[in-house]
Chains A and B, each alone.
Chain A
């Protein structure tokens, strides 16, 4: 059974940093693109970042490029999102999502999602 478990969320001041983790199980982690998608309170979905199975290719939304860094450790079946220079508008539930297509290089969609971790940026 595929499981994705996010952690690392919390309250941080504007300008601060946070690192999110997503522990994966139930599938061959290194064979799949993984993404982070966020949802501000009461708002819609926003794709944040994606990474190829090998970790060699990364992709970002314009709103986070230069501030956030996605990475993965395939030996630990874990996805990460390092978030620096956080802004109030980064407040959201952050989900990790698994791509449906084994062996794909670019992000496509999410067929499995975690329950999310809440990041609150506030002074």
Chain B
């Protein structure tokens, strides 16, 4: 199984400041035949199901604010929130879909400082 390691476990950021969450996979998620990274990012607020933010490592889902961006390739990825808003308080998860079983990172809790 592919292991997904997220860091940090939590971070506190001032409103308007940037935040970066890292995700490292135990094997490359880059599929050579299509040059795509099989990685997604989700946001989960308390009492709600996860919401898909980013697909193919860097493709924002329709309706996701452009302050959210995904980057990286191979085994190292990042989710960046360029200017934190109050509504961004949540837990964020990375997930690989390169192979089954699909696996998630442990989550990063983002709070307001």
A29–chain B nearest beta-carbon distance, Å: 18
- Asked if A45 and B93 sit within 8 Å, CB to CB, the answer is yes
B22–chain A nearest beta-carbon distance, Å: 16
Which size class do A's interface residues fall under?
Answer: 20 to 34
Complex CA–CA separation, A50 to B61 (angstroms): 22
- Asked if A50 and B49 sit within 8 Å, CB to CB, the answer is no
Which size class do B's interface residues fall under?
Answer: 20 to 34
B 6-29 binary contact with A (CB < 8 Å = 1; else 0): 000000000000000000000000
Residues from chain A with Cβ under 8 Å of B74 in the complex? none
Residues from chain A with Cβ under 8 Å of B44 in the complex? 45
A27–chain B nearest beta-carbon distance, Å: 14
Chain B residues with CB under 8 Å of chain A are 1, 38, 40, 42, 44, 49-52, 55, 61, 93, 95, 97, 100-107
Mind listing 16 A-B residue pairs with CB under 8 Å? Answer: A44-B105, A45-B50, A46-B104, A47-B95, A47-B103, A59-B100, A62-B1, A62-B101, A95-B50, A100-B52, A107-B100, A108-B38, A108-B102, A109-B95, A110-B52, A111-B52
